[in-house]
Amino acid sequence: MEARYNLKSPAVKRLMKEAAELKDATDHYHAQPLEDNLFEWHFTVRGPPDSDFDGGIYHGRIVLPPEYPMKPPSIILLTANGRFEVGKKICLSISGHHPETWQPSWSIRTALLAIIGFMPTKGEGAIGSLDYTPEERKSLAKKSQDYFCEACGTSMKNALLPLSSESSQDDREARELARQISFTVNPPGNSKAEGSDTTPKPKPPETQQNGDTGPQAENPDREAPPGEEAAQPAPAPSVSRSPRQRRAQQRRNPASPGLIPVQQHAVNGSNTGSTVLIVLLTLALAALIFRRIYLANDYIFDYEL
């Protein structure tokens, strides 16, 4: 199989590593890629104890995208179980239905434990979920042991190791994952997550239609309440006005506070320039007068001689 794939690909390297880690079956789960397709895996999980699925052995497919682990896999159950539909991609936060919640640090082992942890939970209309009665699920759990997968050649009777005293650790890990990873519920025409806040959000106030004669329309100059911006009047068409009309208009519509410092700065700069110019002109005039007096004294001295 290695000769068929680019071993420099991040997805291929990641899947090769996970295949080596999951090569040996445990008493709770087992998964391996197909011999001719590294991006399609078949898995087997044991039903959680002390539940309607106790004693069941369930088989399914995991289809991985070429961008794995940056994008999530799709999970499909092949064994009737009464919790997930058969042959349909189930909707989990770690499945392809919700790439926005997928984390690249999650793995195929994470998906297997999440499936075990979510089996006893309610479907609540999620895509690919079922809500069979406890009696039906227990009956399907017994029948699941006779399932045989022709695609991978796995029989449920010997797919997993017998239960041992260390099984409780995997059970606790599966339940913990079920609490951490939300089961996404997407009934037709609705989209929400299990455990999410379903309190309806208040609707924003509707805008008043044209011709409204309420207080806001009667008194447009009133001060707007905090958090509400006052409606800006529409700009008037350009009309030539006399200086007196322009001054009156400026008194009615004073400049915004943000422009006042800029205007003051411009006025101060203009006054400073005028002052410097006056000082320079004064100094030049004084130098000219001094030169005239000096030349006049030299002329009088030469005349006396």
Question: Distance of CA 24 to CAs 21, 128, 134, 148, 171, Å?
Answer: 8, 29, 32, 19, 18
User: In the chain, what are the helix, strand and coil shares in percent, each to the nearest 5?
Assistant: 35, 15, 50
Single out the residue of 150, 143, 136, 92 nearest to residue 117, CA to CA. Answer: 92
Query: What is the rounded CA–CA span in Å between residue 88 and residue 94?
Result: 15
Phi, psi at 300, each rounded to 5°: -65, -40
Write down the pLDDT at residue 268: 63
Q: Which amino acid is at 63?
A: V
Catalytic residues: 91
Single out the residue of 79, 295, 26, 36 nearest to residue 90, CA to CA. Answer: 79
Quick one: residue 56, left, alpha or beta (phi over 0 = left, psi -120 to 50 = alpha)? beta
Residues of the chain where predicted confidence (pLDDT) is lower than 50:
183-237, 259, 262
Write down the pLDDT at residue 27: 92
Q: Half-sphere exposure (CA, 13 Å, Cβ side) for 264?
A: 7
Write down the pLDDT at residue 13: 95
The whole-model pTM stands at 0.59
Q: What is the pLDDT of residues 89-146, one digit of tens each?
A: 988 888 887 788 899 999 999 999 999 999 998 887 788 889 999 999 999 999 999 9
Query: What is the rounded CA–CA span in Å between residue 273 and residue 166?
Result: 89
Q: Which amino acid is at 162?
A: P
